Amino acid sequence: MIGKDRELIVRALETEAPDLPLIRVDEDPQGSATLMERVVLEAKKIAEFGDVVLLAPACASMDQFLSYADRGDKFTNAVKRLVGSE
C-alpha cells in the first residue's frame, strides 16, 4: 500500500479482512529504486508462478503521480524492467 490515504484503507481492511496480508511500501531512502519499482519488487516476493499481479488503485494518487496514465505507465515500465525478462 502506498500514498497519503493508505492508513485509512489499512484500517478498513484490518476490520473487514483481518486475514489479508498488507504490505506498506515507502520511498527508497537510498534512491536505488523508484516507488513503483519497490511495489513491483514486493509483489514479486509473494507472487508464485501463474499468479496475476494487478495494480488496483483504491483512490487518487495525485500526490505521487501526474495522472492515472502516468501511474499505469510507471507500473508497466517497472514490471518490464524487473520481471519482464524472466
Could you tell me the pTM of the whole model? Answer: 0.73
d(CA 74, CA 82): 12
Q: What mean pLDDT comes out for the span 64-80?
A: 87
Give residue for cell 520481471: 83
Over residues 41-70, the pLDDT tens digits come to 999 999 999 998 887 776 767 667 888 888
* 17 is a domain residue: yes
**Dihedrals phi, psi of 41, to nearest 5 degrees:** -65, -40
- 85 has pLDDT over 60: no
Residue type, 39: V
The span from the CA of 60 to the CA of 76, in Å, is 18
User: What pLDDT shows up at residue 17?
Assistant: 94
Please tell me the total count of domains within the chain. 1
Q: Is residue 1 part of a domain?
A: no
Query: For residue 74, what are the domain limits?
Result: 6-82
